[in-house]
Amino acid sequence: MAVKDACEKLMKLLDPIMRKYPKYTWPQWNIRSDIVMDVGRSRNPALDIGQIEGTFVQGIGLYTIEELQFSPEGVLMTRGPSQYKIPVMCDVPPQLNVHRLADTQTPDTIYSAKARPDRSTRGDTQQLGVGEPPLSFGITILFAIKEAIAAAHRDSGLSGTFILNSPATAERIHTACVDQFAQMV
């Protein structure tokens, strides 16, 4: 019954979308992700885009499924992908658009995090790696989940705040949704 009730709730929440787009199928309702990033002057734009995509997917895992577990003594038990969940292809947004700002390097930003002097050639600037910034973009998924739960709360007449810690695992999402089963926890 719990699965049936959950499905009925989802269908009720999806009803306005299904009415607006009656011929659409589930993949057409999935949300896309758009990333625009300033990486300075790039020597290999395709490599930069691949790095941004990969690190963004890592961020999705970090904020939604990669749960750290510790022993009673405080030792980290989940030390690698064989011991915790990592993102797989179905976790990647069906439409992932990544764009770089075109060669935005200026003399004022030579010592910024995105570029440094290249002393091996003409004293020109050289791009550093794209690095970790796209990892933090994954938090947008956590915020989207939290906003979806808040909308469900409003639709159910619930008010007040709720806690949704990272990673937003299925169990934590279910608990935050406050149905009759989550209330027993």
Residues 7/57/139/21 CA torsion (nearest 10 deg) = -40
C-beta separation of 60 from 144 below 8 A = no
Nearest by Cα to 146 from 118, 122, 124, 166: 166
C-alpha–C-alpha distance, residues 86 and 31, integer Å: 20
Separation CA 45–CA 76 (nearest Å): 37
132 a catalytic residue: yes
For residue 33, is it left (φ>0), alpha (ψ between -120 and 50) or beta?
beta
Q: Kind and range of the H or E element at 2? A: helix 2-20
Which member of 8, 132, 147, 171 is catalytic? 132
What DSSP state is assigned to residue 128? P
Residues 6+ apart with CB under 8 A from 104: 38, 40, 41
> What residues are labeled active site?
132
